[in-house]
Amino acid sequence: MSDPHSLPDPATVQPPRGLARTGLIIGGLALAVVAGGLVLRHHDAEEAQERSDKLAVPSVHLVLPESAGKSDELVLPGTMQAWTSAHIYARVAGYVRAWYKDIGATVSEGQPLGAIDTPELDQQIIQARATLVRAKAEATLARSTSARWKDLLKSNAVSIQETDEKNADAATHNAQVQEAAAALGRLVAMKAYATVRAPFSGIVTQRNSDIGDLVGPGAATQTPMFAMVDEHRMRIYVNVPQQYSAAMHAGQSATLQVPDYPGHVFNATVLDQSFSINPQSGALQVQLATDNPGTQLKAGGYAEVHFALPVAANRVTIPSGALVLRGGGTQVATIGVNGRIHLVPVVLGRDLGGKVEVAAGLTPQTRIVANPPDSISEGEVVKVEGSHG
């Protein structure tokens, strides 16, 4: 007989039907949430991987090589020099008595520039003239004596030996006359330098002496009294890099531009070249000439020299940044129809600054990467973002 107050066995107690159904629904929903989360996670992972793959493919811009044309311009700095220039020193010692021309004066060849008082030279000339007079007198006496001895020899009044001595004495005095005359002539010639004259027609660019200044010979120790230039024509000196030296030749045309006259172009012609490369600069010195009738160009000034250089028909130019410089040589990254990189070896020509000339390896139709990354490699897949040219 059972106890009416005893509890029922939990194993035998059945839950209500409504409560069991609710539990099943909640469990199903939980499983669905978990499954949905797993699906979303997988989708996000796929998107992240896709984004990573896209970022791993480098983006590049393409350009087409440009034809180098029939000629190209080489621009180099040049230094202008006068056709003729000279520093004029005092040739004789003395004091500046006068100067006749100042800087900027236009003078003709032989025109006086200044005058020098030469008191010491004047005294030497007086002495030389006196020496010449004495030598002539002695020579006259010696000739007369020689003539008398020749007459006496005919009558055997004197010996042949004595006659020969008188003849030799006469010849010696004649030589002394010539010596004295030459000494006087040298001093007179030096006196002519007391008037300082222009050595050629041109312009006075310096006057370094004034009245009363002591001047004298010796270019190494003295300051020049005057300086002159002849600027009817100008010489222009340009250092041409070795890579362009083969294109330089006598008679070649060029143009000049100077800061003094913006926009004005002066025509020049190559006169000659040094035919040797300076080992310090690696350049060839080229000399040009140009007419300067209005003296617009100034000696010592700077000029921008423009050369027109011929270009081979098969040459192209590309941006300098397109070059791939590695141990195997210089290459250019091109892109094929499959979108993969192909590294092409090239032969370079002239460096044109922002561009470089390619002598072999490319055509105007070759698509090249404008600025390839350092890590670019053969066969690499790239994404083309845009193209130019």
Query: For residue 79, with 0-12 CB atoms within 10 Å meaning exposed, 13-18 middle and 19 or more buried, which class applies?
Result: middle
Residue range(s) of every CATH 1.10.287.470 domain in the chain: 87-197
CB 271 within 8 A of CB 253: no
From first CA to last CA, the distance across the chain in angstroms is 108
Sheet holding 195-197, edge to edge: 195-197, 112-117, 94-99, 214-215
pLDDT at 66: 82
Residues 6+ apart with CB under 8 A from 100: 112, 113, 114, 115
Residue range(s) of every CATH 2.40.30.170 domain in the chain: 232-310
Percent of the chain with pLDDT over 90: 49
Q: What is the pLDDT of residues 130-158, one digit of tens each?
A: 999 999 999 999 999 988 888 888 888 88
Residue range(s) of every CATH 2.40.420.20 domain in the chain: 314-388
Question: Which CATH number describes the domain made up of 232-310?
Answer: 2.40.30.170
Residues facing residue 286 across a β-bridge: 238, 273
Q: Is the pLDDT of residue 187 over 60?
A: yes
Q: What is the pLDDT of residues 27-37, one digit of tens each?
A: 656 565 555 55
Q: Is the pLDDT of residue 17 over 90?
A: no
pTM of the entire structure? 0.63
Match domain 314-388 to its CATH number in 3.40.47.10, 2.50.20.10, 2.40.420.20, 3.10.20.740: 2.40.420.20
Would you identify the CATH topology of the domain 87-197? Helix Hairpins (1.10.287)
Q: What is the pLDDT of residues 97-135, one digit of tens each?
A: 999 999 999 999 999 999 999 999 999 999 999 999 999
* Mean local confidence (pLDDT), 68-82: 85
| Angle at CA of residue 146, ends 145 and 149, nearest 5° | 85
pLDDT at 207: 97
Q: Is the pLDDT of residue 365 over 50?
A: yes
Q: Give the Å distances, CA to CA, from 94 to 58, 186, 225.
A: 85, 17, 13
